Chains A and B, each alone.
Chain A
Amino acid sequence: MQEVVAPRSGMATLVLMLMGSSIVYGVGKQAGADTWLAVIAAMILSVPFILVYARLVDLDPNNDIFQTLEKALGKLVAWTAAALYGWYALLLMYNSVNNLGNFIAVAGLVETPRAVPRLFLLVITLAAAKLGVEPLTRWSTLFLIVVVGISVFAFALVSEEIDYSNLQPILYDGIGPVAAGTFSTMAFPFLEAVLFIFIGAAYRGQGGARQVMLWGHLIAGATILFIITNTLAVIGPDVYRIQYYPVYGAASRIDVGGIFTRLEITVTFIFLATTFVKITVCLIAAARCCGYLVGEPRYTYLLTPLALSGIVGTFWLAEGTLEMEAMALQVWRPMQLVLQIILPVIIWIVAEIRLKSPKQQKAPQS
């Protein structure tokens, strides 16, 4: 079952999804003062992979990705891909919920039991996922404007703290840290767009998924670049590197005549809105993969157990912010390399060859 959405709405959803977590945690910290360069490089280097993801959706626009995979690669490969990406979507969902839970605990609600914010977030995302992809994308269209508006507003207020000399000297430590920052920024957040393949959306108009994913990626990249560069200019590369929530730190410096202060709430709001979209997309992707695995065509029936598994999943994933960082280095990087780059490219090449073979082209007519 595919849900038809407007390209603009699809783009807005992808933008908010890619912004989820990344704008608060910061990206490409390894690059230090050259983080802005790393973000630009990551944005450009991610484009071929984004086009591969879009092509996988566009291979057969009348069918969803699982039917396409089944037709091109056989049932076993389609089943394996569903298992792997379903697992990845669930892990990413737990990770995002955990990020938000830790952020809330660190930023303000220190005494609140850890389960409470997580449970609230999961229930809200469950409700959103149950409504389907289409309402989520329309919501995203509206909230993208709000999020960008708030970012610009915060930028205007923090502008007197901005010191662009913090971005200099360029490439002082050589190309190595920039390369490390580039690859980490590609994996988180840009290539997390791989899960967008599995949400089962079909797009109106001529451009198809390519238009939606490419423009969504570029807009998200530009927004992340804007926020991260200004954060770096406000707090400097050394603080940016060591702070867990650098954007929050930058926004906390806003002080306009002693009246406008404590405006880090704007960052909290952006974090909530973007993480909500990210978690909902992950939940839908996980439910669709899981639905394919168990032979259930309506993924909405599987949403509740998968969402509730988030309560356990977030606790078992990592205990706190430090453990999250350790896990990101140990487990996430290799997993992301396989699921975001190697597997989609292999699937795409094989699917292109198989779907263009005369035998496969004859199959639907017979």
Chain B
Amino acid sequence: MLGAAAVVVLYVLVAVGEVMLWEERTLRRVLIYSIMMAAVCILTALLALGIEPPKGIVRGFVGSLLQKLGMGG
């Protein structure tokens, strides 16, 4: 929990600091950047909490899909 909180604080600091350093700050640019940073921050915080996506299911799905298409290894 502490790790996840630290990740969030760090990401917010990095994001705010970087935006403040920009020469041109348009709303659109800041919005895109914020959305991307928020997404990465949430995923990293989840990782710090030990929550990982069911990648086995995803990879199994992709693998069998490719095999069905005759491209699988």
Task: State the A residues within 8 Å of B (CB).
Answer: 294-296, 301-302, 304-306, 308-309, 311-312, 315-316, 327, 329-331, 333-334, 337
Contacts and interface: CB of A to CB of B under 8 A. Distances in A.
B33 A331 contact: no
Interface string B1-37: 0000000000100110010001000001100110011
A30 B18 CA distance: 47
B4 to A, nearest CB: 12
B59 A327 contact: yes
Contacts of B49: none
Contact of B47 (A315, A329, A331): A315
8 contacts: A302-B32, A304-B18, A308-B11, A309-B40, A312-B44, A316-B52, A316-B55, A330-B66
The 6 A-B pairs of least Cβ separation, nearest first, read A305-B36, A334-B71, A329-B73, A312-B43, A330-B63, A333-B73
Contacts, number: 63
Nearest to B39: A305
A183 B55 CA distance: 28
A312 B47 contact: yes
Nearest to A307: B40
- The contact size tier of chain B is 20 to 34
A308 B43 CA distance: 10
A329 B43 CA distance: 27
Contacts of A337: 71
B47 A305 contact: no
Given A296-B28, A305-B33, 14 more contacts: A296-B32, A301-B32, A304-B18, A304-B33, A305-B36, A308-B14, A308-B44, A309-B43, A311-B44, A316-B47, A316-B52, A329-B73, A330-B63, A334-B69
Contact of A334 (B39, B53, B66): B66
Contacts of B72: 330, 334
Given A304-B18, A305-B33, A331 B44 contact: no
Nearest to B24: A298
Contact of A305 (B37, B59, B66): B37
A84 to B, nearest CB: 15
Contacts of A295: 28
